Amino acid sequence: MKMQDNWIERANRVLPGGGFGNFDPGIIIREGKGSRVWDEDGNEYVDYLIGSGPMLLGHDNEEVQDVVRAQIGKGLTFFANNSAGIELAEEICQAVPCAEQVRYVTSGGEADMYAMRLARAATGREKILKFEGGYHGMSAEAQMSLAPTKLSNFPLAVPDSAGIPEAVRDAMLIAPFNDIEFLRSLLAEQGDEIAGLIVEPLQRVVPPEPGFLQAVRQECDKYGIVLIFDEIVTGFRFAYGGAQELYGVTPDVCTLGKIVGGGFPLAAIAGNADLMAHFDVSKVGPEGFLMQLGTLSGNPVASVAGLKTMEILRRDGAYEKIRANGQFIMDVLSQSLSNAGHDHQIVGDPTLFDVVFTADPVRDYRSWLNGDAEKNARFNTLLRARGIFKAPGKLYPSLALTEADLQQTREAIAEAAALLDG
């Protein structure tokens, strides 16, 4: 029996669905080095999943490993303030336009949940507006209209998970991404009841149309709505200061995760000092206080890994290289799929993108849903058989990609496009 089949059998016995819930349980990753990963049978892949985003530098960055080893020798976790966590908060405030203060949590989903609660604490209002198809983790609020198969009329929320109280649905409003006219008319009716608006500045892979985020900012100001940018994916990836730097729109608060913990469990809520004061009972009193703590918050191992990752990203040429790698692959995809006669759109930013098999432009969840998802899955299977490892719906280029990786990717894409049915 192959090693991998043995692990899959064992996983099926002890894990629901045979997996961790994250990714195809039919592959068991043994190790990663640089730009590549190997499965338990020794098959080698160029890694475009990169841990779902955190491993932007590649898998075995020596400098990150050195600081992690040094910290491990001094202690793994303290549940108390530590200098690494304070330094990381300083660097986040330096880098991210909206960040004056930082509160740590352990996962991106938690950060989003607290950011929404913070908007409620700050405004005394209840409703949260999110965009259909926007991903903000697994909280009850975030499960509303995340990936609905049954489409409802806006702004009615549809829960995408069992176990969510009806009351949460009533407190959520759903709007189509990139539709400023819809947003304006919704806010004209209910703007004064809305605590916060949460948005992925680039929603999954769909970019904001020019002026959209600026208009969202203006509308939030008009009604006193807290604007939350979910930068779990885009933070430190789109630019050192994240999507807010790239697009030139500053939210009131943002959430950060993935890269900021250097591959360890760490995420953060970062915002202006007035808002962040709600985490401090001495500033806002018990009425406005948002209770928040967590065993691993500000973990020193994650903090040193994040700090070193950020230091490397600040070096000359880092973002240019990531963007050039991504642009190369976007161009190859576009050429190969056109040559083979497949209707498609390459949707995203060079730091994060994918193919959508549709002839029509993709500007929101519903137009993305028009894409042929089965064809996308077949394309990904053909790529995997040629040593290209990626998630369904996303491709993340890393800084570790070499010329050989890019050439292998080019050949794999050309072959897969030529063999793809439909």
Return residues touching ligand PLP (CB under 6 A): 52, 107-109, 112, 135-137, 200, 230, 232-233, 257, 267
Q: How far is the CB of 198 from ligand PLP (least distance, A)?
A: 9
**By C-beta, is 237 or 308 nearer to ligand PLP?**
237
Q: How far is the CB of 258 from ligand PLP (least distance, A)?
A: 7
Q: How far is the CB of 135 from ligand PLP (least distance, A)?
A: 5
Of the candidates 260, 285, 281, the one whose C-alpha atom is nearest the C-alpha of residue 270 is: 260
With CB atoms as reference, the residue minimizing the distance to ligand PLP is 108
> Which one of 135, 247, 319, 365 is the catalytic residue?
135
**By C-beta, is 114 or 279 nearer to ligand PLP?**
114
How far is it, in rounded angstroms, from Cα 394 to Cα 99?
28
> Which one of 258, 308, 375, 390 is the catalytic residue?
258
**By C-beta, is 116 or 158 nearer to ligand PLP?**
116
Count of other CB atoms within 10 angstroms of residue 383 = 23
CA dihedral 46, 347, 392, 165 (to 10 degrees): 140
Of the candidates 366, 420, 368, the one whose C-alpha atom is nearest the C-alpha of residue 394 is: 368
Of the candidates 242, 202, 239, 196, the one whose C-alpha atom is nearest the C-alpha of residue 98 is: 242
**By C-beta, is 187 or 267 nearer to ligand PLP?**
267
Count of other CB atoms within 10 angstroms of residue 210 = 8
- 39: helix, coil or strand? strand
Q: How far is the CB of 232 from ligand PLP (least distance, A)?
A: 4
* Catalytic residue status for 258: yes
Please report how many Cα atoms fall inside a 13 Å half-sphere around the Cα of residue 88, on the Cβ side: 33
**By C-beta, is 112 or 179 nearer to ligand PLP?**
112
Query: Can you read off the two tokens belonging to residue 188?
Result: 């004209």
Q: How far is the CB of 136 from ligand PLP (least distance, A)?
A: 5
**By C-beta, is 108 or 155 nearer to ligand PLP?**
108
Residue with tokens 């990203």: 313
> Which one of 230, 349, 354, 364 is the catalytic residue?
230
* Catalytic residue status for 319: no
How far is it, in rounded angstroms, from Cα 118 to Cα 198?
12
Q: For residue 373, what are the CA distances in angstroms to 151, 354, 379, 418?
A: 17, 12, 10, 18
* Catalytic residue status for 396: no
Query: Can you read off the two tokens belonging to residue 412?
Result: 């794999």
Q: How far is the CB of 51 from ligand PLP (least distance, A)?
A: 10
Query: Can you read off the two tokens belonging to residue 134?
Result: 């926007």
Catalytic residues: 135, 230, 258
